[in-house]
């Protein structure tokens, strides 16, 4: 099927060909026609499938007729994080080049003043994170009674972040006559309940998850000693210093770890920057732009900050921490090996991670992930010097087991300060348990670590 056959108008077809897109993706083939008919759509698809265009394109076509009134946006897109919201707005700019639609982006970390000024002038498209949208609403700055189309993007992520009550409230503030386009990678019962309640006879469109064990992604694990973040940082440096690593995203489970790892890598001369929900929006945007352009080689990221980001050319993904939710593993490694390119995903696994590691194996339907042996060169951890990593089938056990520090143990188990986690979720990052910082990794390791198959 061609884009023209989906029913899109010539102006959009021109924009698509300027963007270099020739054929629609499966979700676009299935979602665009019912959306153009004005039907509700329930799209079960994750990022990387082309889902953003599958709601952006029909919205532009529908909104082309009519004009926005002050403080009464005509359409609303809700996204779980600032970055994702910003990405959706880039899609509107790209596909809407031949239209004169007005747009506002309501995200945290940006001044209310500028956002208010846009709302006052009237917008066709409002893209927002739920918290910031409700802040504006409560301050009497906007009305949602003029919404013709509402999109909920990455609903399951909203659920993880505790946004579902906000979403329900927002739905109730919009007119019953709206068209709803609702996207989620998975359909847990809470999401099903919302769609049953707020969608009217939706066209259900489901596209297969991109295979997690995609042939283009080489997956490896590296075993590390128990409760030893320093050893993990040493192993990480050995991995990222390898000559094949062009660039990479290093995932950590918590914001505090993101900061520690980024600082440690910088100290060791790596071109790395952190990205997580507590950092200023301007810094996050600049970091992403620089990473995309190649000015920054390594992004140290939390899940939420990186979720759904469209970064085309990542050679490696490193899981500094084993993700607690196995779905996050799928999302993390999906940052590499995109569009048929080769990619590699490596994960540091400590004994305490066993439970989560097993659940990842279950999710990806694998018995095991091949192990990699890492030689940490005790004398030099600078990036320029080549580090070695290779597949090993030797059967030695890790040689170094460091003494367990109490604070490190707290970080490992990750069950500290749940309140702070809840607080940080509202701000667009769900992994902010504020564990104590243990060391900064400027210590040259004095061990040689070999890791092996079980
Ligand atoms: P998404 O799943 O919306 O995050 O899109 C993933 C990537 O696919 C983005 O870089 C899009 O710009 C790109 N994309 C979307 N639709 C198409 C298409 N029909 N052909 C090629 N690339 C596309």
> Residue of the nearest CA to atom 5 in ligand 1?
50
Distance from Cα 18 to the centre of ligand 1, integer Å: 14
Nearest to 377 by CA among 239, 256, 211, 225: 239
Answer for the pair 226, 351: CB distance below 8 angstroms, yes or no.
yes
Specify the 3-state DSSP secondary structure of 208. coil
**CA 276 to CA 300: how far, in whole Å?**
9
> Residue of the nearest CA to atom 12 in ligand 1?
50
> Residue of the nearest CA to atom 8 in ligand 1?
50
- pLDDT for the residue 378: 37
State which ligand 1 atom lies nearest to the alpha carbon of 3.
19
State which ligand 1 atom lies nearest to the alpha carbon of 25.
19
- pLDDT for the residue 340: 64
Got the DSSP string for 125-168?
Answer: EEEE-HHHHHHHHHTT----TT-SEEEE-SHHHHHHTT-HHHHH
**CA 49 to CA 209: how far, in whole Å?**
8
Distance from Cα 123 to the centre of ligand 1, integer Å: 25
- pLDDT for the residue 339: 63
Q: Which residue has the tokens 């993700």?
A: 323
- Burial letters 49-58, b for 16+ CB under 10 A, else e: bbbbbbbbbb
- pLDDT for the residue 136: 93
Distance from Cα 50 to the centre of ligand 1, integer Å: 4
> Residue of the nearest CA to atom 13 in ligand 1?
50
Ligand 1 pocket test, pick from 5, 52, 84, 86 with the greatest ligand atom count within 8 Å of Cβ, gives 52
- pLDDT for the residue 389: 40
Q: What is the pLDDT of residues 112-133, one digit of tens each?
A: 888 899 999 999 999 999 999 9
- pLDDT for the residue 412: 25
> Residue of the nearest CA to atom 15 in ligand 1?
50
**CA 25 to CA 30: how far, in whole Å?**
9
Distance from Cα 26 to the centre of ligand 1, integer Å: 11
List of residues 6+ apart from 278 with CB closer than 8 A:
255, 424, 427, 429, 432
| Fold for the domain defined by 217-388 | Rossmann fold (3.40.50)
The structural domains of the chain, with segments of one domain joined by +, span 3-206, 217-388
Distance from Cα 127 to the centre of ligand 1, integer Å: 19
> Residue of the nearest CA to atom 6 in ligand 1?
48
Ligand 1 pocket, CB under 6 A: 21, 24-25, 28, 47-53, 310
> Residue of the nearest CA to atom 22 in ligand 1?
21
Distance from Cα 244 to the centre of ligand 1, integer Å: 27
Distance from Cα 339 to the centre of ligand 1, integer Å: 10
> Residue of the nearest CA to atom 19 in ligand 1?
24
Residues of the chain with confidence (pLDDT) below 50: 211-213, 378-454
State which ligand 1 atom lies nearest to the alpha carbon of 49.
2
- pLDDT for the residue 99: 95
Distance from Cα 109 to the centre of ligand 1, integer Å: 27
State which ligand 1 atom lies nearest to the alpha carbon of 19.
12
Answer for the pair 56, 93: CB distance below 8 angstroms, yes or no.
no
- pLDDT for the residue 29: 95
Count Cα atoms within 13 angstroms, Cβ side, for 192. Answer: 4
List of residues 6+ apart from 286 with CB closer than 8 A:
none
- Crossing angle of helices 164-173 and 189-198, rounded to 10°: 0
- pLDDT for the residue 399: 30
Count Cα atoms within 13 angstroms, Cβ side, for 249. Answer: 31
> Residue of the nearest CA to atom 11 in ligand 1?
50
First to last CA, the chain: 49
Distance from Cα 306 to the centre of ligand 1, integer Å: 17
| Fold for the domain defined by 3-206 | Rossmann fold (3.40.50)
**CA 261 to CA 237: how far, in whole Å?**
10
Say how far residue 143 (Cα) sits from the centre of its chain: 30
Ligand 1 pocket test, pick from 15, 22, 50, 341 with the greatest ligand atom count within 8 Å of Cβ, gives 50
**CA 420 to CA 410: how far, in whole Å?**
15
Distance from Cα 281 to the centre of ligand 1, integer Å: 24
Q: What is the pLDDT of residues 233-251, one digit of tens each?
A: 999 999 999 888 999 999 9
- pLDDT for the residue 46: 80
State which ligand 1 atom lies nearest to the alpha carbon of 94.
12
State which ligand 1 atom lies nearest to the alpha carbon of 46.
2
Answer for the pair 309, 241: CB distance below 8 angstroms, yes or no.
no
> Matching CATH topology for 3-206 and 217-388?
yes
């Amino acid at each position: 099927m061609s884009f023209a056959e989906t029913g899109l108008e010539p102006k959009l077809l021109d924009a698509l060909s300027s963007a270099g897109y020739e054929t629609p993706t499966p979700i676009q083939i299935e979602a665009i026609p019912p959306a153009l008919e004005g039907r509700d759509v329930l799209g079960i698809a994750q990022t990387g499938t082309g889902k953003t265009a599958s709601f952006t394109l029909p919205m532009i076509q529908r909104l082309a007729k009519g004009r926005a009134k002050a403080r009464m946006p005509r359409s609303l897109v809700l996204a779980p994080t600032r970055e994702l919201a910003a990405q959706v707005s880039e899609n509107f700019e790209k596909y809407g080049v031949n239209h004169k639609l007005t747009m506002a982006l309501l995200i945290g970390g940006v001044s209310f003043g500028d956002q208010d000024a846009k709302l006052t002038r009237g917008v066709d498209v409002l893209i927002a994170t739920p918290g910031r949208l409700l802040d504006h609403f409560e301050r009497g700055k906007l009305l949602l009674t003029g919404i013709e189309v509402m999109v909920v993007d990455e609903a399951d992520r909203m659920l993880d972040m505790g946004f579902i009550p906000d979403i329900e409230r927002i739905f109730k503030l919009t007119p019953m006559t709206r068209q709803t386009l609702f996207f989620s990678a998975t359909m847990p019962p809470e999401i099903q309940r919302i769609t049953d309640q707020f969608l009217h006879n939706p066209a259900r469109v489901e596209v297969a998850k991109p295979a997690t064990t995609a042939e283009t992604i080489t997956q490896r694990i590296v075993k590390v000693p128990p409760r030893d973040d320093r050893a993990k940082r040493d192993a990480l440096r050995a991995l990222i210093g390898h000559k094949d690593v062009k660039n990479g995203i290093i995932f950590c489970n918590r914001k505090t770890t993101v900061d520690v790892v980024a600082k440690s890598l910088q100290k060791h001369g790596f071109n790395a920057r952190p990205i997580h929900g507590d950092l200023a929006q301007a810094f996050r945007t600049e970091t992403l732009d620089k990473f995309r352009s190649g000015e920054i080689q390594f992004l140290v990221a939390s899940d939420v900050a990186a979720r759904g980001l469209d970064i085309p050319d990542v050679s490696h993904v490193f899981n500094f921490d084993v993700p607690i939710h196995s779905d996050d593993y799928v999302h993390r490694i999906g940052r590499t090996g995109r569009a048929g390119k080769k990619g590699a995903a490596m994960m540091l696994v400590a004994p305490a991670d066993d439970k989560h590691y097993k659940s990842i194996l279950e999710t990806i339907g694998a018995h095991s992930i091949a192990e990699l042996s890492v030689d940490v060169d005790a004398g030099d951890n600078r990036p320029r010097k080549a580090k070695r990593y290779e597949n090993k089938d030797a059967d030695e056990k890790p040689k170094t087991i460091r003494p367990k520090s109490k604070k490190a143990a707290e970080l490992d188990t990750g069950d500290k300060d749940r309140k702070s986690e809840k607080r940080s979720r509202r701000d667009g990052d769900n992994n902010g348990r504020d564990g104590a910082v243990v060391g900064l990794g400027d210590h040259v390791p004095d061990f040689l670590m070999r890791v092996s198959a079980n």
